[in-house]
Amino acid sequence: MINAIKMTTTTSLYDQFIALYREKEKVQDNRWLTSIRDTAFESFSEKGFPTTKMEEWRFTNVAPFLKEDFRLQPGGTSSLLRQNIIPSLDAYEIVLKNGMLNEDVSIPGVKVTPLRTALKNDDLKTYLGKHTPLKKNPFAALNTAFFENGIVIETEKNAIGDKPLHITHVYYAEEAVFIQPRILVIAHRGSKIEIVESVTVIGDKPLFVNSVTECYVAENAQVDQYNLQIAPANAHLVHFNQVVQQGNSLYNNYNYILPDAALVRNNLHLDLNGSNTESHLFGLYLAGNQQLTDIHTTVNHLFPNCFSNELYKGVLLDNSRSVFSGRIYVAQDAQKTNAFQQNNNILLSNKAIVDSKPQLEIFADDVKCSHGSTVGSINKEALFYLHTRGIGEIAARNLMVQAFAFDVTNKIQIPAVREYIEKRIIHKMAEAYD
Amino acid sequence: MAKNSADILEEYSDKEYEYGFVTDIEMDIAPKGLNEDIIRFISAKKGEPQWLLEWRLKGYEAFLKQPDPHWQNFEFPQIDFQDISYYAAPRTKAKYKDMNEVDPELIATFEKLGIPLSEQKILAGVAVDAVFDSVSVATTFQETLKEHGIIFSSVSKAVQEHPELIQKYLGSVVPYSDNKFAALNSAVFSDGSFVYIPKGVRCPMELSTYFRINSGNTGQFERTLIIADEGSYVSYLEGCTAPKRDENQMHAAVVELVALENAEIKYSTVQNWYPGDKDGKGGIYNFVTKRGVCRGANAKISWTQVETGSAITWKYPSVILRGDHSSGEFYSVAVTKNKQIADTGTKMFHIGKGTKSRIISKGISAGEGQNSYRGLVNVGSKAENARNFTQCDSLLIGDRCGAHTFPYIESKNRTATIEHEATTSKIGEDQIFYLNQRGIDTEKAVALIVNGYAKEVLNQLPMEFAVEAQKLLSITLEGSVG
């Protein structure tokens, strides 16, 4: 019975999208874009929103989050907001309001264009939606069918960024909204760029963000992406990040999830499309309250001599629930692959649940691949050691959690970001034991 | 001039199955096809009570309802369930007391397999319940076991003699609706072994059954039920070889283990069924549901398996750790070569307090073999201080094979500690070089390394089996390594 009710409410949002697509004016789009959208829409309309029957979503039921009567395609807003949530971060600031860029930004060596403007350029068709597996990802397909707002970040050849780019996503949730931003990053040959993304939410009505980022790292280029997902409890963030690396490139992803966003679901897909690439994926999820965090990563080793390293750490408090699913795929041609993956979890509450699913799929023989996964609590002996040194229960626990998180926080290359994240962890942990 | 490694590789990886032969005995075969009448036929043939027939029919109903599995990472072969004969039994119905009465051809088959029944009595401490196709034809050492009050017989015999135990425990661990193949087994199971160890009895010998699929086109549907009452101990061995066939044969067995308080069950398998020829033609489909439950406190169930045969192996011996401080173990070596597929692993459900589990899985892939570990460690919210350690290693030999790991880890208790690690690699050239340098040729060096690699699991096997398992590993593997 309960299922039946869920079905109808999910269907209703689904129906709204179906109807919306039919009405939508497509005159603005180029022919190639229309065809991409049509394919994506077809795939979404076939599958609908994911259910727990899909392997990729078996631990995460999105149906309860989709019951709201969302406004589907809110435009940007003109109300001005200048707010830097990461103190002392020296960066080129970009503010996206509901995914929309209002002000021009000029950054040496980097072209930042609103998506609508950039779409007039036919060159984008070699990038946009080219690698993202839409068939298997209904949310990414939905975004592709509907996105209106977003930006394109394109570096010049051999341009080395002097400062990071900081994108602040400002979402206005004075009414229930469903927002679908799209970001395309193209790092041309030999360039280097650091991108930091953070979230600010104004208003306390349900907010559902279904975003897709596509990142192309050309030969000898380097891209560092920082994704800081710290938002209030009314936020639901579903994010798909497709990365394509060409030969000799370097890609680093840093993902930090802290309370209170009710739902955070990330898909991070790496296609290693050339030899001698290097990729590092670091993540921390500190989940509290009723939070549900769900991280799915896929690293596709398609060419020989590539290196990938992945480390995700989780701390679970209260009634939170976390899912980690990491997949390393090594194709038959990808000899001499080195691929490592590790996921460690600390459960600090008996009501918290953790699911970990590290996977290896290997078709080449001359490889070194390993993965490890642990779930446990704070080491009692270490705790005792600290007690004997006169450190109290709470302080000792917090110290242990900080030390646990250190493995991923010390990877952050931008001092201001690192300081910000470390402070948030200390703050959250202090709160947790009050 | 010594053969170069490529030659050795070719010679051995092409090596065909050594135990492929067919024994000619008149079979009592049911017509092909699956329907209610066949189930009634099997049930009537065995003179079963009404409740068992009804249970079979429920299993059949569940089988019809379940869709084909779709989650595996290999292509699922289309199986025509109507093209299988579900009952085959040697025609002679007489019970043998004396070995001389047994069909000489049957004895010859066992001798070719290296398990001469006539010698089994002399061989120390092994009672053999030989399952030839589906019906038990000879049971030895019954007298010794009887002294201890141990029941070791075929399931059909147990249905007649101990209906209360069968009715109480059959399907209590693997319900008829568990999965498609368990449902099929429930509906048409032909026979199998039944073991009951009474309270406080330590079974004085290793119990063992040899399975052998003999008649072409006859799927074997074994059902094994082992009950270890409070404080008892039993070690059970299961080993298989099958004759060569060109058509795929399906084997969907169910094994249920019940360990009560302080009881321990050790279940060991060596599986060497016909894997198909080097193009993957023929070969057995081995879809087995094995599960044990630790019902009482401090109970222990240990699974050990050496899997070298079958075209497709699909089995997950699992343990439900319900009693407080109970423990489960899973040790596995799976070898695939040519076009074999092995998808195996375990499920450990931690329900009781202080439950422990240990999983050691060693996969070896050669040729075009695909080897997957698929497992689940689930810690419930009441499993205080539960502990799990999982290690799954894969060894790749050749550039067209695959090794995959799909573990699921779920914890609902903060005092639980779960560890999982997996590695995939090939045999180190430095290791081989080191051994070469000591005058050990490459082939032997590889055998040495592989045996060392699998040692942790082979060590778990009882003596009698360890020898056979090592022999099997060398036949299957030694040479397919370059």
Least confident of A6-15, A149-158, A249-258, A294-303: A6-15
Residue B33 structure tokens: 């096809």
ipTM over 0.90: no
Q: Is A434 on the interface with B (CB under 8 A)?
A: no
Closest CA to B281 of B321, B322, B247, B232: B247
Least confident of A75-84, A99-108, A254-263, A353-362: A75-84
Strand partners, A287: A316
Q: Which residues of B touch A353 (CB under 8 A)?
A: 410-412
- CA dist B206 → A395, B149, B183 (Å): 56, 15, 30
User: Containing H/E element for B195?
Assistant: strand B193-197
More confident of the two residues A28 and A161: A161
Task: Report percent pLDDT > 90 for chain A.
Answer: 57
Q: Which of A350, A360, A363 sits opposite B422 (nearest CB)?
A: A360
3-state secondary structure (DSSP) of residue B200:
coil
pLDDT of residue A79: 61
Would you say residue A209 has pLDDT above 90?
yes
Q: What's CA A330's distance to the chain center, in Å?
A: 23
Q: Do B410 and A355 touch (CB under 8 A)?
A: yes
Comparing alpha-carbon positions, the chain A residue that sits nearest to B73 is A361
Q: Do A55 and B407 touch (CB under 8 A)?
A: no
Residue B365 structure tokens: 């892939």
Comparing alpha-carbon positions, the chain A residue that sits nearest to B417 is A376
Locate the DSSP E strands across B218-323.
Answer: 223-228, 233-241, 249-251, 254-259, 264-272, 284-294, 300-307, 312-315, 318-321
Q: Do A372 and B420 touch (CB under 8 A)?
A: yes
Residues of B with CB under 8 A from a CB of A: 71, 73, 379, 381, 394, 396-426
Per domain, the residue ranges of chain B are 30-426
Contact A213, A242 (CB under 8 A): yes
Closest CA to A339 of A304, A298, A371: A371
Q: Which residues of B touch A359 (CB under 8 A)?
A: 404-407
pTM of the model: 0.82
Q: Do B404 and A361 touch (CB under 8 A)?
A: yes
Q: How many angstroms separate the CA atoms of A176 and B312, rounded?
A: 52
Q: Is A289 on the interface with B (CB under 8 A)?
A: no
Model confidence at B215, pLDDT cuts 50, 70, 90, reads: very low
Q: Which residues of B touch A351 (CB under 8 A)?
A: 381
Q: Do B420 and A349 touch (CB under 8 A)?
A: no
Would you say residue B85 has pLDDT above 80?
no
Would you say residue A19 has pLDDT above 60?
yes
Q: Do B415 and A364 touch (CB under 8 A)?
A: no
Least confident of A187-191, B20-24, B230-234: B20-24
Q: Is A79 on the interface with B (CB under 8 A)?
A: no
pLDDT of residue A82: 58
Best of B412, B426, B430 to substitute, by most chain A Cβ atoms within 10 angstroms, is B412
More confident of the two residues B207 and B213: B207
Would you say residue A354 has pLDDT above 60?
yes
Q: Do A365 and B401 touch (CB under 8 A)?
A: yes
Residue B315 structure tokens: 């089995």
Residue A161 structure tokens: 């960024």
List all residues 6 or more positions away from A299 whose beta carbon is below 8 Å from its beta carbon: A270, A272, A279, A281, A308, A310, A326, A327, A328, A329, A339, A341
Task: Report percent pLDDT > 90 for chain B.
Answer: 19
The most confident of A33-37, A265-269, B425-429, B441-445, by mean pLDDT? A265-269
Would you say residue B91 has pLDDT above 80?
no
Which whole number is the average pLDDT over A300-306?
95
Residue A198: other Cβ atoms inside 10 A = 22
Q: Do A355 and B409 touch (CB under 8 A)?
A: yes
Which whole number is the average pLDDT over A387-411?
91
Query: For A84-96, how does the pLDDT look when each residue is reduced to its tens digit (9 = 90+)?
Result: 678 888 999 998 9
How far is B478 from chain A, CA to nearest CA, in Å? 17
Query: For B113-172, how does the pLDDT look when each residue is reduced to its tens digit (9 = 90+)?
Result: 555 444 443 332 344 555 554 444 445 566 777 888 888 887 888 888 888 888 889 888
Would you say residue A237 has pLDDT above 60?
yes
3-state secondary structure (DSSP) of residue A190:
coil
Q: Which ranges of A276-374 would DSSP assign to H, the alpha helix?
A: none
Which whole number is the average pLDDT over B218-239?
83
Closest CA to A171 of A179, A162, A163: A179
Comparing alpha-carbon positions, the chain B residue that sits nearest to A330 is B402
Least confident of A298-307, A320-329, B421-430: B421-430
Query: For A319-330, how does the pLDDT look when each residue is reduced to its tens digit (9 = 90+)?
Result: 999 999 999 999
How far is B53 from chain A, CA to nearest CA, in Å? 34
pLDDT of residue B478: 52
Q: Do B414 and A371 touch (CB under 8 A)?
A: no
How far is B368 from chain A, CA to nearest CA, in Å? 10
Would you say residue B254 has pLDDT above 70?
yes
Q: What is the DSSP string of B448-477?
A: HHHHHHHHHHHTTS-HHHHHHHHHHHHHHT
Q: Is A357 on the interface with B (CB under 8 A)?
A: yes
Q: How many angstroms separate the CA atoms of A44 and A171, rounded?
A: 25
Q: How many angstroms separate the CA atoms of A385 and A327, rounded?
A: 37
Q: Do B421 and A372 touch (CB under 8 A)?
A: yes
Q: Do B413 and A347 touch (CB under 8 A)?
A: yes
Model confidence at B448, pLDDT cuts 50, 70, 90, reads: confident
Q: How many angstroms separate the CA atoms of B282 and B448, rounded?
A: 31
Model confidence at B104, pLDDT cuts 50, 70, 90, reads: low
Best of A301, A343, A355, A362 to substitute, by most chain B Cβ atoms within 10 angstroms, is A362
Average pLDDT, chain B: 77
> Could you tell me how many CB contacts below 8 A there are between chain A and chain B?
118
Query: For A30-58, how does the pLDDT look when each residue is reduced to its tens digit (9 = 90+)?
Result: 888 888 999 999 999 998 899 988 888 98
Which whole number is the average pLDDT over B266-287?
79
